[in-house]
Structure 1
Amino acid sequence: MTTELPQRAHTVIIGGGVIGTSVAYHLTKLGVSDVVLLEQGQLSSGTTWHAAGLVGQLRASESATRLVQYSTQLYAELESEVGLSAGYKQCGGVTVARTEDRMIQLRRTAANAEAFDMECELLSPRQALERYPVMRVDDLVGAIWLPGDGKANPTDLTFALAKGARMRGARIVEKVRVTDILSDGGRVRGVRTDKGDVEAEVVVNCAGQWAKQIGALAGVNVPLHSAEHFYVVSEAIDGVHTDLPILRDPDGYTYFKEEVGGLVIGGFEPEAKPWVSPDKIPYPFEFQLLEEDWEHFEILMNSALLRIPALETTGIKKFYNGPESFTPDNQFILGEAPELANFFVGAGFNSVGIATAGGAGRALAEWIVNGAPTSDMTGVDIRRFAPFNGNTRWLHDRVAEVLGLHYEIPWPNREMATARPFRRSPVHHLLQAANANFGSRMGWERANFFAPPDTDPTIEYTWGKPNWLAWSAAEQTATRTNVTVFDQTSFSKYMVVGRDAESALQWLCTADVAVPVGRSVYTGMLNERGTYESDVTVTRTGPDEFLIVSSAATTERDKDHIRKNLPSGVDASLVDVTSAYAVFGVMGPRSRDLLARLTTADLSDGAFGFGTSRLISLGYATVRATRITYVGELGWELYVPAEFAVGVYEDLMSAGAEFGVRRGGYYAIESLRLEKGYRAFGRELTPSENPVEAGLLFACKLKTDIAFLGREAVEKAKAEGQRRKLVGFAVESPEAMLWGGELVLRDGAVAGQVTSAAWGETTGSCVGLAYLRATDNAIVSADWVRAGRYEVNVGGRLYPISVSLRPLYDAANTRIRP
């Protein structure tokens, strides 16, 4: 390795583990040869060297699956390119189920594999035994076989990637510790080390469990915390050979991998052991392990003894307790930090670093070179976190739960239980007193549903119809027939102000926002590729002032996108006012009657039409009332200064008593919006979809000559025709329960996946949205959609569905404009 520290480089990468070397490898492959990688110890000496090396291809999302698919391809080819083996072997993987609930998950996994065009086979216990002869199967319900799974040697892989990077010009310097990040004017300028400064245009933080420390040097929030992670290596076992597949027994929290005729036995225990605070990780810490903890490992070992009976008489050669870092939501962190331009992060890989390193390294390198991701990285984007997510005490308590989620059944709507409650609406206590069940989004505690008095408002997780369904259905019915009040305070809310606010937003928004004061416009925000970065409502509140309302989860990415894409030199500033206002949705055919009890404002359709927004008196308070809906009924969103929120909410419930007003939660909102066909960012709208595919050209100002970001790409997509089309659907049987992600078949062939689904009480069955595509990638026309016969795969069972190009409910919009 290079020993001299250069004075400057185009890109400096901090961290010589598998992620840092992968980023260096892929940057040089993209033509950025002036790369310096700095490692405080030796290559792979931090977390990488003690990784188990499992490479499982199939992930929960298509984007994550594609990353690992690329990794496997790369690892198999590295030796022929660089002359060093990655130690990669495709041996296949068997995942077993002890319960019917787990088997339903595996059937859903098999359906995902079919959607992603991956090979996957459902197995009986006897067939699973044929694949893995040394395990016990008499307690199993079934299994799946994934022939594409494999294993890699973490250290060999790291050195092979490093050599590939050096062959194309990268310099790798070991035994150099970064002590500060240099910046100027909001942009990174280089790094300070214990051996001198290095100027750089780009700095990449791939420091593993040290990444939070490195981020802090730059003023960048990297929310992760280390936890102790355990596995043991057994002596040789008869019947264990080098081609034995990976075995996963998630109901027993364990995995098994062959190593030198024995087994690596590890897992993800339900309650983990957080390690030291991220700012107290010792230095140096090279190739080191923590103390053995057989008592904590007992739950994994007992499960392993059950699954592999031969372990009862087999010795253990080595106990590994190697700390590694985990994020608050069990997804890794990738992307450019919103706090500092050209400072990128690739960290927090939650025990999937080896499997993901190839794809994640390429994705981050492309992000650096192109200035934006080239595919949908929303789920791992660093901008999904806010500064408060970096609180170390909060992270400590959360990570104890996160590690165990790896092998927990991924229940629909599963909520984190630790480190809560967190952010609370001003009326949280009133919702709690009304027996609300709370979920969490961007830290906000939000009512999912309201249980009847004297009933425990907890979720009993299931793949079938849940215990709360009747309560949420009643909220839906109330909204369709009467009036419901929703606390939607968690909305992200921003002001764009300044002399050039209108022209700035015309560039950022797909729709024409040059509207009179007091008008609201639904619009998308796109990237240069013409795909979605956000969808928002823009309200003109003054000649040089606009209010933007967005989803709860997208606050940081929205702000970053807007600031980065404001036209140069404009007089326009962005201010985050999310916490300044509570938001109450008053929705339903009696909403006008309820509000009329509290205000003297004329709420008639002629005086206060759809899309109108103005300040009104409401009881003793003055609030902004916007006539808009996300549930498909007459309604208003009330934007209430936080200090008036409790009084306004109490007034709404008091005045609404004569109408039988109900409180509503987010589960009801989800059902209602799907019956109406309303899209949601992160599901129907992502950086992989454009307005043509999403059916939202009506929200694009293509009939004007006004330029907007992504316009050329949208026009091109429109001219070329749709390869995918978003449709609504209703399941023909009320028996099925859908949650999203299910496989859609057209005339028996794979046609897409469900993006969102929920029970629709008005429809009387589950409803949802899905993107359809043709098997030959042909143009998807309306006639093609109508000509098909459709089914949805629900846990292995097929149900017919009725597909529609129009909203399932009130297609003519008569309900929202009375």
Structure 2
Amino acid sequence: MAHTLPSHVSVVVIGGGIMGCSTLYHLAKMGVPDAILLERNALTSGTTWHSAAQVRALRHSRNLTRMIQYSVELYAQLEHETGQSVGWIQKGSLSIATNPGRLTHIRRQEALAHAYGINARSISAGEAKERWPLMNAKDVLAAVWSPEDGRVSPSDVCAGLVKAAKRLGAKLFERTGVTGILTENGRVRGVETSQGTVMCDAIALCTGLWSREVGAMAAAEVPALACEHFYLLTKPIDGIVGNTPTLSDHDSHLYIRDDSGGLLVGCFEPMGKPIAPGVLNGSFEFALLPEDWEHFEPMMINALHRLPILEKAEVKMLLNGPESFTPDGTFMLGETAETRGLFLGCGMNSVGVASGGGAGMNLAHYIVRGHAAYDLTEADAKRFAPIFNNIEHLMARAPEILGTHYDIAYPGKQLKTARDLRALPLNKEYREANAHMGQFYGWERPLYFGKTAEPVLRFDRPDWFENVRAEVMAAHEQAAIFDASPFGKIEVEGPDAESFLLQVCAGHMARSPGSVIYTAMLNERGTFESDLTAQRITQDHYRLFVGATAIKRDLAWLRRHAQCYNVTLTDSTETYAVLGLMGPEAARIVSECGAGDLNNVSYFKHGTARLAGNHVRAARMSYVGEAGWELTCLTENASDLYAALAAAGAKPAGLFAQTSMRIEKGFCAMGHELDADVTPIAAGLDFAVRKGNGFIGAEALSDVRARGEVSHIVSLTLDDETAVPLGHEPIYLDDRIVGQTSSCAFGYRVGKPVGLCHTREPLKDGVRVQIDIARRMVDATVTIGPLFDPAGKRMNR
């Protein structure tokens, strides 16, 4: 360990667990030899040392899976690079199912594994019993076997990472606690420590259990909270020889493996125990929390059922070690919105060791190159609404997140805690219409209307199927109201508004006032940071509409690039409500409500009117493929406007109906078809991009265009009307995986299940393929372009 702190370094890594050690190693690998790591106590003394260290490659997305695959490769490489053993034990994992829902779930996971190149296969209950002889398999229906999964020794991994980093010039300072973070004009400048001050250009905050408090030193929001996490250790048991696969009995909330000749029985119980801030202080080093047998008892009963041999086993200890959890169960990675140069690598949700190698590599990428190695929007540090940093909400949500680790991934599942945080202007009206609500960025949004009872979640046709059909048909045959109020709204004003937006947006931003403009915001690689629509209100004023969950991220991106322009950026999201009035009766309704002039507004234009006595700005556009307007009004006028539209015959429609109609129209969405790995050309959106230079990403896009890249997005219609694709399903052509679904729904106007898909190779219109839905192959037809109204005549009339 180094003894004297340098006065200035490029990057300070705070925290000596798996994330900090991995980040330090990768910074050194990427040419930052003066990076240092500060650890308040000793390496791995927080959460890392007591991790069960399961390394299971499969995750719900390609890039999270790719990240863990990288971890496996890295940990194996470390032994050759440093001579440090990492304790890699590759005995595979066995996931059992004891009910039909879980069986579908694990078979969907098996299908996903094939799409991501992971070795996994279904096996019978009998074969599962052969692989885990001590298991009671009487209630097991089937299992999935993943032979390449394993586990490591977390302390040894960290020792290897630091050893390699130090060889490359990086330094480690243990017993050096951070007492403050220095900032200037919203950017980090240095850290104050118990051993002195170090000035720096960037900070990697990898402080695990204490990340929220350390982030607050730099005025940054880090919504993560510690919960108690339990696993039982037994003394040696007859019949356990050598190492076993990890047994996942998620219906019982358990994971089980050998440990020193005995058993390790861990759990993610349905509702965990939160740890209030301040309980884990600076002296919490290689420490554990008190045993809590009363809390663990239901899990122990489950374990005794699965492993009868436990009845005779001697208990070594009930380990209770804290782990940190975020409001959605995914870690935080990347630069904060509040403070430039402060990068998060924390909130690991009990998968820190498995993810740490790849997550540390990506965090180093963020710091050195300004972006992750591949799209990790789902882990973006800027994705949470500020309200989730509230300690009361975290204390409620984090214990539920712990329990969701082993949930069945039913479509439509919603979290139960920390709800009703942000209400839409029409919340009262929607509740009276029996809306079933879902939470997005803290907002409660209607998913569908007319709910008569809580839906029973399932993988086959959902309880809300007919409710959504009625809403789609209302929009298709009459008129429906879709609430777009949660979408972020950003006012861009000033003499440089046009030149600024021409720089940060790839679309045709110089169009005249009164225009509506769809555009991408690209990065230097020519891939998506965001997509949005803009209304040019005056020569010096645009209003941008961004995704409901993207406002914090997009506003930070815009502010970062606005410094050299004479513009002001204002978040007006809560100032305005937006109601989409869509359907063939929309024209009659606005006329009856006193705004007949809106029928003269042409497609992708906007105009103002008095509708039911209220001022509205109406944009002629459609996200659902039916004619209509998006009506923007002051929030306080939304109830009057809604009442008038409803009285004239418009019906409310929810997010499920909107998604179905979007997919039928082939409209791409961020987080589904669009992300930081995808260019507008690959998404079939090159028509909305200016040619030539003058905007961020233009040069990269020109290179891609010159190489002949074409769209990789196609539409799919499934033959089987009862099939329920959910997204991420592999697509087969002649027994080869040629793509993966990205958005799926039932297409009520088409009369079949439908989807959008990313393909790995060009597919011809009309080609027949098969979709793997939980290992059942369903025939489907490829369509190049929209499935419904491909010429767009209904939107333009």
Provide the rounded CA distance (Å) in 1 between the counterparts of 2:36 and 2:90: 32
Q: Which residue does 1:304 correspond to in 2?
A: 303
Deviates more, 1:801-810 or 1:155-164: 155-164
Code of the residue aligned with 1:275 in structure 2: it is I
Code of the residue aligned with 1:615 in structure 2: it is T
Code of the residue aligned with 1:625 in structure 2: it is A
Q: Which residue does 2:226 correspond to in 1?
A: 226
Q: Which residue does 1:663 correspond to in 2?
A: 652
- Conserved in 1, the CA contact under 8 Å of 2:334 and 2:380? yes
Q: Which residue does 1:802 correspond to in 2?
A: 781
Query: Are residue 488 (structure 1) and residue 477 (structure 2) matched?
Result: no
Q: Which residue does 1:755 correspond to in 2?
A: 742
1:703-724 deviations in Å (ceiling 9; x for gaps): xx45211112222222223376
Q: Which residue does 1:64 correspond to in 2?
A: 64
Q: Which residue does 2:664 correspond to in 1?
A: 675
Code of the residue aligned with 1:679 in structure 2: it is C
Q: Which residue does 1:327 correspond to in 2?
A: 326
Provide the rounded CA distance (Å) in 2 between the counterparts of 1:764 and 1:23: 50
SS at match of 2:288: coil
- Conserved in 2, the CA contact under 8 Å of 1:519 and 1:540? yes
Q: 1:270-289 to 2 correspondence within 5 Å?
A: 270-277=270-277, 279-289=278-288
Q: 1:432-511 to 2 correspondence within 5 Å?
A: 432-451=431-450, 455-456=452-453, 458-511=454-507
Q: Which residue does 1:18 correspond to in 2?
A: 18
- Conserved in 2, the CA contact under 8 Å of 1:437 and 1:449? yes
SS at match of 2:182: strand
Provide the rounded CA distance (Å) in 1 between the counterparts of 2:587 and 2:421: 34
Provide the rounded CA distance (Å) in 2 between the counterparts of 1:531 and 1:300: 46
Deviation at residue 413 of structure 1 after TM alignment: 2.3
Q: Which residue does 1:390 correspond to in 2?
A: 389
Provide the rounded CA distance (Å) in 2 between the counterparts of 1:706 and 1:286: 55
1:289-310 deviations in Å (ceiling 9; x for gaps): 1111011111221111111121
1:587-623 deviations in Å (ceiling 9; x for gaps): 101011111111244133xx21111112211112111
- Conserved in 1, the CA contact under 8 Å of 2:766 and 2:783? no
Provide the rounded CA distance (Å) in 2 between the counterparts of 1:563 and 1:145: 48
Deviation at residue 283 of structure 1 after TM alignment: 2.1
1:616-638 deviations in Å (ceiling 9; x for gaps): 11112111111111000101111
Q: 1:357-396 to 2 correspondence within 5 Å?
A: 357-396=356-395
Q: Which residue does 1:777 correspond to in 2?
A: none
Q: 1:160-239 to 2 correspondence within 5 Å?
A: 160-239=160-239
Provide the rounded CA distance (Å) in 1 between the counterparts of 2:510 and 2:299: 62
- Conserved in 1, the CA contact under 8 Å of 2:766 and 2:781? no
Provide the rounded CA distance (Å) in 2 between the counterparts of 1:724 and 1:551: 23
- Conserved in 2, the CA contact under 8 Å of 1:522 and 1:538? yes
Tell me the matched-pair count. 797
Deviation at residue 44 of structure 1 after TM alignment: 0.5
Q: Which residue does 1:91 correspond to in 2?
A: 91
Code of the residue aligned with 2:771 in structure 1: it is V
Deviation at residue 787 of structure 1 after TM alignment: 7.1
Deviation at residue 135 of structure 1 after TM alignment: 1.0
Of 618, 634, 639, 2:632 maps to: 639
Of 557, 562, 568, 2:558 maps to: 562
SS at match of 1:349: coil
Of 579, 590, 595, 2:585 maps to: 590
- Conserved in 1, the CA contact under 8 Å of 2:681 and 2:710? no
Of 766, 778, 790, 1:811 maps to: 790
Provide the rounded CA distance (Å) in 1 between the counterparts of 2:74 and 2:307: 33
Deviation at residue 688 of structure 1 after TM alignment: 1.1
SS at match of 2:765: helix
Provide the rounded CA distance (Å) in 2 between the counterparts of 1:162 and 1:599: 71
SS at match of 2:209: helix
Code of the residue aligned with 1:289 in structure 2: it is L
- Conserved in 2, the CA contact under 8 Å of 1:747 and 1:788? no
Query: Are residue 793 (structure 1) and residue 772 (structure 2) matched?
Result: yes
- Conserved in 1, the CA contact under 8 Å of 2:590 and 2:596? no
SS at match of 2:743: strand
Provide the rounded CA distance (Å) in 2 between the counterparts of 1:299 and 1:721: 59
Change (3 A) 1:431 1:653: same
Code of the residue aligned with 1:736 in structure 2: it is A
Code of the residue aligned with 1:654 in structure 2: it is A
1:546-582 deviations in Å (ceiling 9; x for gaps): 011011011111111222233x521122211111111
Code of the residue aligned with 1:741 in structure 2: it is H
- Conserved in 1, the CA contact under 8 Å of 2:12 and 2:36? yes
Runs of 4+ in 1 over 6 A off after TM superposition: none
Code of the residue aligned with 2:713 in structure 1: it is L
Unaligned runs of 5+ in 2: none
Query: Are residue 52 (structure 1) and residue 72 (structure 2) matched?
Result: no
Deviation at residue 102 of structure 1 after TM alignment: 0.7
Provide the rounded CA distance (Å) in 2 between the counterparts of 1:500 and 1:76: 53
Q: 1:640-719 to 2 correspondence within 5 Å?
A: 640-656=633-649, 661-702=650-691, 705-719=692-706
Q: Which residue does 1:518 correspond to in 2?
A: 514
Deviates more, 1:235-244 or 1:30-39: 235-244
- Conserved in 1, the CA contact under 8 Å of 2:110 and 2:774? no
Q: Which residue does 2:529 correspond to in 1?
A: 533
Provide the rounded CA distance (Å) in 1 between the counterparts of 2:171 and 2:263: 37
Provide the rounded CA distance (Å) in 2 between the counterparts of 1:710 and 1:600: 41
Provide the rounded CA distance (Å) in 2 between the counterparts of 1:280 and 1:263: 30
Q: Which residue does 2:114 correspond to in 1?
A: 114
- Conserved in 2, the CA contact under 8 Å of 1:723 and 1:773? no
Provide the rounded CA distance (Å) in 1 between the counterparts of 2:758 and 2:764: 11
Provide the rounded CA distance (Å) in 2 between the counterparts of 1:28 and 1:724: 38
SS at match of 2:340: coil
Deviation at residue 755 of structure 1 after TM alignment: 0.2
Provide the rounded CA distance (Å) in 1 between the counterparts of 2:134 and 2:450: 48
Provide the rounded CA distance (Å) in 1 between the counterparts of 2:485 and 2:280: 38
Change (3 A) 1:528 1:427: same
Provide the rounded CA distance (Å) in 2 between the counterparts of 1:255 and 1:25: 31
Change (3 A) 1:529 1:748: same
Q: Which residue does 1:28 correspond to in 2?
A: 28
Q: 1:389-428 to 2 correspondence within 5 Å?
A: 389-428=388-427
1:198-220 deviations in Å (ceiling 9; x for gaps): 11111111010101000000000
Provide the rounded CA distance (Å) in 2 between the counterparts of 1:231 and 1:348: 20
Deviation at residue 10 of structure 1 after TM alignment: 1.2
Provide the rounded CA distance (Å) in 1 between the counterparts of 2:143 and 2:236: 25
- Conserved in 1, the CA contact under 8 Å of 2:618 and 2:631? yes
Deviation at residue 53 of structure 1 after TM alignment: 0.8
Query: Are residue 765 (structure 1) and residue 761 (structure 2) matched?
Result: no
SS at match of 1:89: coil
Unaligned runs of 5+ in 1: 775-779
Provide the rounded CA distance (Å) in 1 between the counterparts of 2:215 and 2:632: 36
Provide the rounded CA distance (Å) in 1 between the counterparts of 2:603 and 2:35: 55
- Conserved in 2, the CA contact under 8 Å of 1:736 and 1:766? yes
